[in-house]
């Protein structure tokens, strides 16, 4: 391909995401993998797959910006941007209006407010506790002895949701074990776990404008979006690839640099 491409790499503590965009701002290649212990190797593997998907066989002819926890571990990146800036840029690309972004990732969650010009008004970020993140769901799945990928369907089956009293992952794990001992049905527990995630995120900040939900937890558990919609009583916007918004934002920064 003779046309220059633009690459965004989002190296999270849990997953690495790569997005490839063309000059018309279309997403033409992407990949998502576990970050593992070698961020550079994983980022390169994601890049090769995404470039192949975009029809570009070699690692040349592109500009790249990296973001996320491991953004400085990407040797083929020309520059770095903060994950807050990239998530905001990626979401505004899909929804150019005043929005509140709720991003639920593997190790942290974010609430970002943008005005109708895409300017960041405020943001809150949770890094100190696993509550409300993918790590919390992984721990609860282990406690329940069920595959993580089954939680979304189990939550949908719930008829009598059981709320958890604690946000703390450790205390919630103990509480879940006690609920199991009491004979509470697994679907009701899983929906309660989902509700615990929602409460933790919504209490981080108030919501303004339209609400956009992104992140790996949202991508793999769409029932969470339905539960948030019922909680806030209005529609929630979700991009086509909610796990890629940070990488898309980084690619757009690469295009504009």
Q: Phi, psi at residue 120, to the nearest 5°?
A: -75, 125
Is 130 within a domain? Answer: yes
160 and 72 co-located in one domain: no
Residue with tokens 């919390």: 136
Would you place residue 1 in the very low, low, confident or very high pLDDT band (cuts 50, 70, 90)?
A: very low
- Count of CB atoms situated within 10 Å of the CB of 243: 23
182 and 129 co-located in one domain: yes
pTM: 0.91
Is 202 within a domain? Answer: yes
Domain CATH number, residue 188? 3.30.420.40
35 and 135 co-located in one domain: no
Residue with tokens 């970020």: 125
Would you place residue 253 in the very low, low, confident or very high pLDDT band (cuts 50, 70, 90)?
A: very high
What range does the domain containing 64 cover? 5-84+245-256
pLDDT of residue 170: 60
Quick: pLDDT tens for 164-192: 876 566 666 777 878 888 888 999 999 99
Is 194 within a domain? Answer: yes
Is 89 within a domain? Answer: no
Is 90 within a domain? Answer: no
136 and 197 co-located in one domain: yes
- C-alpha to C-alpha distances, 75 to 51, 66, 87, 231, nearest whole angstrom: 16, 10, 21, 43
CA 231 to chain centre: 20
User: How many domains does the structure of the chain reveal?
Assistant: 2
- Count of CB atoms situated within 10 Å of the CB of 246: 34
pLDDT of residue 251: 98
Residue with tokens 């005043």: 98
Contacts of 113 (CB under 8 A, 6+ apart): 99, 100, 101, 120, 121, 122, 123, 205, 208, 209
9 and 55 co-located in one domain: yes
186 and 122 co-located in one domain: yes
pLDDT of residue 166: 61
In sequence order, the β-bridge partners of residue 227 are none
Q: What does the DSSP 8-state code read for residue 6? A: E
116 and 189 co-located in one domain: yes
Q: What is the mean pLDDT of residues 27-53?
A: 96
Contacts of 89 (CB under 8 A, 6+ apart): 118, 248, 249, 250, 252, 253
Contacts of 90 (CB under 8 A, 6+ apart): 8, 214, 239, 244, 245, 246, 247, 248, 249, 250, 252
């Amino acid at each position: 391909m003779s046309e220059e491409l633009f690459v965004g790499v989002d190296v999270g503590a849990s997953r690495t995401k790569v997005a490839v965009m063309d000059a018309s701002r279309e997403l033409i290649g992407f990949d998502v993998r576990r970050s593992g212990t070698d961020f550079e190797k994983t980022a390169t593997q994601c890049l090769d797959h995404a470039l192949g998907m975009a029809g570009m066989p070699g690692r040349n002819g592109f500009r790249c910006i990296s973001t996320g926890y491991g953004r400085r571990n990407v040797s083929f990146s020309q520059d770095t941007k903060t994950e807050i800036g990239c998530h905001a840029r990626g979401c505004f690309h899909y929804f150019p209006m005043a929005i509140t972004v709720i991003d639920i990732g593997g190790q942290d969650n974010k609430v970002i407010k943008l005005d109708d010009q895409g300017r960041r008004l405020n943001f809150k970020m949770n890094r100190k506790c696993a509550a409300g993140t993918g790590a919390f769901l992984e721990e609860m799945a282990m406690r329940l002895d069920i595959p993580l990928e089954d939680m979304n369907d189990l939550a949908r089956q719930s008829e009598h949701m059981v709320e958890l009293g604690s946000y703390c992952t450790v205390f919630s794990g103990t509480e879940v074990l006690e609920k199991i001992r009491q004979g509470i049905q697994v679907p009701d527990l899983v929906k309660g776990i989902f509700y615990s995630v929602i409460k933790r995120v919504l209490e981080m900040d108030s919501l303004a404008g339209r609400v956009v939900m992104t992140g790996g937890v949202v991508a793999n558990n769409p029932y969470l979006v339905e539960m948030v919609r019922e909680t806030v009583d209005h529609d929630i916007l979700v991009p086509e690839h909610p796990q890629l918004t940070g990488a898309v934002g980084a690619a757009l920064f690469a295009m504009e640099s």
